[in-house]
Amino acid sequence: MAGRKDYVNSKVASNREQIEHHVKEILKLIGEDVEREGLLETPARVTRMYEEIFAGYDVDPREVLGVSFDEQHEELVIVRDIVYYSLCEHHMAPFFGKAHIGYIPSGKIAGLSKLARLVDAITRKLQVQERVTTQIADILEQELSPHGVMVVVEGEHLCMCSRGVKKPGSKTVTSAVRGEFRTSSPLRSEFLALLKQ
């Protein structure tokens, strides 16, 4: 959603006072002094952050792809290293990483920046990485009707790195394959090889 007007979660914006109140209450409940100088503006800052990081609730990911273009290119198209940030719905802890998208057009292509915006629209809400991966692939398949889609998402999850098993540096990799990528091992291999270059 970068590169165009900033999206915000309208529910957060319209409930700003209540959210600030609850953030303040949580700070008290964990033992903080909410009158301490460093925390005076924290409830407002957290609320503004929520407006941004939960902006995906106000965006239809299908509409993000916008207009597609008729183009007779029917070879592999890849946009890789799309950085994303999301929040795990189990702990509300951040997870982040890179998404790699490949598809084989069947007469329709999307603007390349639209693929990055699609990732933002899907990740800016409470999520799990597996669902993020599936949703990207499904929306591309439904909206562009390509010959095939392959999505690989890498993520580092703070709920695993900083709590629980405490394994910093561990990465989760998920994939979704559709169409010709599902049936063609050489095509999958080509996609994966191009990601490594």
Give me the active site residues, please. Answer: 88-91, 129, 157, 159
Q: Return the residue matching tokens 């999206």.
A: 7
Handedness of CA 21, 23, 25, 27 (dihedral sign): negative
Query: Phi/psi zone of residue 97: left (φ > 0), alpha (ψ -120 to 50 degrees), beta?
Result: left
What CA–CA distance (Å, rounded) separates 155 from 165?
A: 16
Burial of 181 (0-12, 13-18, 19+ CB in 10 A): buried
Residue 91's Cβ-side half-sphere holds a number of Cα atoms within 13 Å equal to: 11
Residues with Cβ within 8 Å of 63's Cβ and at least 6 positions away in sequence, in order, are: none
**Has 159 been labeled as part of a binding site?**
yes
**Has 22 been labeled as part of a binding site?**
no
**Has 161 been labeled as part of a binding site?**
no
3-state class (DSSP) for residue 8: coil
Residues of the binding site for Zn(2+): 88, 91, 159
**Which residues line the annotated binding site?**
88, 91, 159
